Amino acid sequence: LGHLGDELTAIWKEFEDGQTTEAILVRAADKVELMLQALEYEKAGYRNLDLIFSAPENSLFFDKFGLVRELVESILSARTRLRAQS
């Protein structure tokens, strides 16, 4: 891919290493999406997804952005309500 391949590799490394605020935000969005998907799986009856919701490294991504933290708290509240209904 030449120059484009080098550029894509650099962007991927930036994302993986959390080198910029943008990379950290994208990583946080990725983890929030995973939590939403896991919540949907739990609604469908799947269990043993606790690690997705409680992975300690997630706070590194969530705590940097207030809105992301609010989204996560909303997801966790929805999960608590779901578990109370079960």
Residue 1 in this model has a pLDDT that exceeds 90: no
Residue 60 in this model has a pLDDT that exceeds 90: no
Lowest mean pLDDT among 3-12, 19-28, 57-66, 74-83: 57-66
Domain boundaries, the chain: 2-85
Q: What's the whole-number average pLDDT of the chain?
A: 93
Let me know: does 28 contact 62? Beta carbons within 8 Å. yes
- Scan for tokens 């705590």, then name that residue: 63
26 Cβ contact partners less than 8 Å away, ≥ 6 residues apart: 15
For residues 11 and 53, give the distance between their C-alpha atoms in angstroms, rounded to a whole number.
Answer: 27
pTM of the entire predicted model: 0.85
Angstrom distances, CA of residue 41 to CA of 8, 18, 44, 68: 32, 28, 5, 21
